[in-house]
Amino acid sequence: MPRSSLKQRAEGPTTEAGYGAGMADEQLGAIGRCHLCKRTFGFTPATVVTVMMDPETNMPLGMTVSGAFREPAPEAVARAVAARVCPDCVERAKQLRDFMDRPVPPLDTWQGNGPVQGSDG
């Protein structure tokens, strides 16, 4: 395959002027690994979603083993590091939040008509 077609593939589609139009608006500043799914993704450091993680427990700050939240200890805050999260995982987290925050369907109370005929009691 000629070098020019490899370069065009990497830059995306070209405009009439011949400049890459695909990545021109999305300048990647870095490539890193998502903390949740472990996939490699490109991101701009100033806009990437991060979660503050306690490297000792490998859990988000303030989260307990049971999944509840509490005020993090000062030493946990001091050793916390920012962990990058890819856009796919952010979208999955939003979908999970929407699913978990749905209102509980109303349940009608059961109205009994008294004892069932033929029963002893």
pLDDT digits (tens, 9 = 90+) for 66-85: 888 899 999 999 999 999 99
Domain assignment present for residue 30? The answer is: yes
Q: Looking at per-residue confidence, does 119 or 102 come out higher?
A: 102
Domain presence at residue 116: no
Tell me whether residue 18 is in a domain. no
Q: SS3 of 92, please?
A: helix
Count of structural domains within the chain: 1
In total, the chain counts a number of residues equal to 121
Q: Is residue 76, in this structure, part of any structural domain at all?
A: yes
pLDDT on residue 64: 86
* Predicted confidence (pLDDT) per residue in 29-44, tens digit: 899 999 999 999 999 9
Domain range holding 30? 24-100
pLDDT tens digit sequence for 77-113: 999 999 999 999 999 999 998 998 888 888 877 777 7
Share of the chain above pLDDT 90, in %: 40
The answer to whether residue 109 sits within a structural domain is: no
Residue 29 near residue 43 (C-beta atoms within 8 A):
yes
| Lookup: tokens for 97 | 């939040």
Residue at 45 is within a domain: yes
The answer as to whether 70 is a domain residue is yes
Tokens of 32: 């890193």
**Confidence at residue 115, expressed as pLDDT on a 0 to 100 scale:** 66
Residue 13 within a domain: no
